[in-house]
Amino acid sequence: MSTAPPDYEAITQRQQGVWSRGDFGRVGTLNVLHGELLCESLDIHPGERVLDVGGGNGCASLAAARRWADVTCTDFVPELLEQARQRAASEGVQFKTEVADAQNLPYPDDSYDVVVSTFGAMFAPDQQRVADELVRVCRPGGRIGMNNWSPGSMMHEVFGATGKHVPPPPGVQPVFNWGDEAKVRDLFGDRVSSLKFVPREIVWRFPSPGHMLEYFRTWYGPTVAAFGALDDDGRTSLGADLVDVYRKHNRADDGTLVAPSGYVEVLAVTA
């Protein structure tokens, strides 16, 4: 029996609501190094046209703007773009912001020299459409750079623990496909002339595992939504499972949390 394809439009609308909950900017500002590293790996030059897809509160856009690029920061949550504008103003750099969906970018073909996404586009439900759009708006010989959580990483286990309590929509491919080199090669196909994966780590640092739990359940949209979908017993169980994941990856022995989570830089050159 054939199965109907997922309703990507409905799932995207639901995700927009999820990422609008809490305040992702409180999480996004905890880590800035990955945006700088990605822009260095892409060797962004002054004057290059850079598109940040799923840019959130502007981590990669700020890094590209500091290199004097002509940057457009996009996201499908307008409130996050307002935060990105405020950060740019406070740091004395400039970029444009526009509301846009990674699956339907409102730009002509070959519009940008560099297209970036840091833990943003990987969450859009229609993965093939995302890959198509990233390639479409990037000029031939341009560069695409993504930061994506790795399979088997701490964040993979965080989403796995959450999914046990609040399952993802049926039929949607795992977001961690974007950290799997074989799957990414399949998504981009022969439309890129080179594709390189660089393993890296983000280290989460909190006063304690319990503090990370409270921080994420207060500010991180997917965690806020998951706790909101459960009853009291379910929330208690989910909280315990998440703290177990944090503790598993904690390398500190002084009561604080110092927990690395692997991710990959995906670096592609368009054909």
Between the CA atoms of 29, 32, 38 and 41, what dihedral angle is there, to the nearest 10 degrees?
A: 170
Q: Does position 3 have pLDDT exceeding 80, yes or no?
A: no
Distance CA 12, CA 123 (A): 10
Cβ-contact 239, 217 below 8 angstroms:
yes
Distance CA 76, CA 100 (A): 5
Q: Which CATH superfamily is domain 8-202+262-270 in?
A: Vaccinia Virus protein VP39 (3.40.50.150)
Distance CA 240, CA 25 (A): 25
pLDDT score for 2:
53
What is the DSSP code (8-state) at residue 174? P
| pLDDT tens digits, 177-223 | 999 999 999 999 999 999 999 999 999 999 999 999 999 999 999 99
Q: Mean of the pLDDT values across residues 127-140?
A: 98
| pLDDT tens digits, 68-114 | 999 999 999 999 999 999 999 999 999 999 999 999 999 999 999 99
pLDDT score for 4:
78
Break the chain into its structural domains and give their ranges. Answer: 8-202+262-270
Name the nearest CA neighbour of 205 among 31, 38, 28, 26: 31
Can you list the positions of beta strands (E) in the chain?
49-52, 70-75, 96-99, 112-118, 138-149, 192-206, 257-270
